[in-house]
Amino acid sequence: LLQLAAPLNYLGMMYREIKQAFTNMERLFGLLDEKLDVQDSPGAVPLATRRAHVRFNDVHFAYDPRREILKGVDFEIRPGQTVAVVGHSGSGKSTLARLLYRFYDPDGGGISIDGHDLRDLTQGSVRAAIATVPQDTVLFNDTIYYNILYGRPDATREEVEAAAQAAHIHSYIMAMPDRYETEVGERGLKLSGGEKQRVAIARALLKNPAIMIFDEATSALDSRSEKAIQAELERIAEGRTTLVIAHRLSTVMNADRILVMDAGRIVEQGTHEDLVASLGHYAQLWQLQLQAADEAAA
């Protein structure tokens, strides 16, 4: 019997592993199901124009039908303008970015680019027209060169380096022993939050899209990196339709329009000056932020 114990134990281990593999497969299929939700409709056409006028029209959305996250959101971003969204954590800001990139479809209302509902456009053409700089950039276990090239795989070496230069990460890369061939990601060099964002900015620049989505990092960068990244962002947003999801007010002052979200609704909108003068929700948030900055400086 004792002789049998080891193989049985082994079989038990195998059983658990196989069961785990099936669980993973189920998850995989679960994911695929989710993707099917946003598959191209039969008559979908590619997005052709590059004016990129974005419009959210009474958008309702819930991840879980029991809890609505967006409760009728209406706004537009005119071609070339920058709109920034601010509001408490969990108010639904990043969800707007996910819907524009069409990770999900709205449950009510619609989102259009140049008057075409996203559901009537091919997903590939919509995603080709939009570059995102997410909160937390995923790096592949590959070279830093590959990680930037991912923005536009047919770009030349010169274009990759020019994008890295514009994102102010070129000299950092050149200072490493393997330069652009340096391995990054889980198994390679771990980049800091700010460095990862610069890689994402370089990718976005390489893609050269009509629409930019910038989801600001929630984890605080030191204020020098934050200012530098903010300046780069403003430069790359120039002439492009840009949606900035802002987790700090200091980065939105120059936006053409600021939307203030609260519990899934836009409660105020205007320029920084308008909103400060109107003494509402934004003015309060601004006051709190000024106080916090004063306390930190004291």
Residues that bind ligand ATP (CB under 6 A): 63-64, 69, 87, 89-95, 218, 247
Beta carbon of residue 129, minimum distance to ligand ATP (angstroms, whole number): 22
Beta carbon of residue 70, minimum distance to ligand ATP (angstroms, whole number): 8
Q: Please, which residue, 87 or 134, has the CB nearer to ligand ATP?
A: 87
Beta carbon of residue 5, minimum distance to ligand ATP (angstroms, whole number): 45
Q: Please, which residue, 82 or 91, has the CB nearer to ligand ATP?
A: 91
Q: Please, which residue, 84 or 206, has the CB nearer to ligand ATP?
A: 84
Instruction: Detail the DSSP E strand segments found in the chain.
Output: 54-61, 70-77, 82-87, 108-113, 116-117, 130-133, 211-215, 241-245, 257-262, 265-270
- Amino acid, res. 112: S
Q: Please, which residue, 196 or 247, has the CB nearer to ligand ATP?
A: 247
d(CA 117, CA 112): 4
Of 291, 221, 209, 212, the C-alpha closest to 251 is 221
Beta carbon of residue 199, minimum distance to ligand ATP (angstroms, whole number): 21
Q: What is the DSSP letter of 179?
A: G
Instruction: Please compute Rg for the chain using Cα positions.
Output: 22
Q: Please, which residue, 151 or 193, has the CB nearer to ligand ATP?
A: 193
Instruction: List all residues 6 or more positions away from 197 whose beta carbon is below 8 Å from its beta carbon.
Output: 133, 137, 217, 221, 229
For helices 193-207 and 157-166, the axis angle rounded to 10 degrees is 130
Distance of CA 61 to the CA centre of its chain: 18
d(CA 150, CA 249): 31
Beta carbon of residue 225, minimum distance to ligand ATP (angstroms, whole number): 19
Q: Please, which residue, 95 or 241, has the CB nearer to ligand ATP?
A: 95
Q: Please, which residue, 87 or 151, has the CB nearer to ligand ATP?
A: 87
Query: Please, how many CA atoms are within 13 Å of residue 269, restricted to the half-sphere of its CB?
Result: 15
Beta carbon of residue 121, minimum distance to ligand ATP (angstroms, whole number): 23
Beta carbon of residue 294, minimum distance to ligand ATP (angstroms, whole number): 23
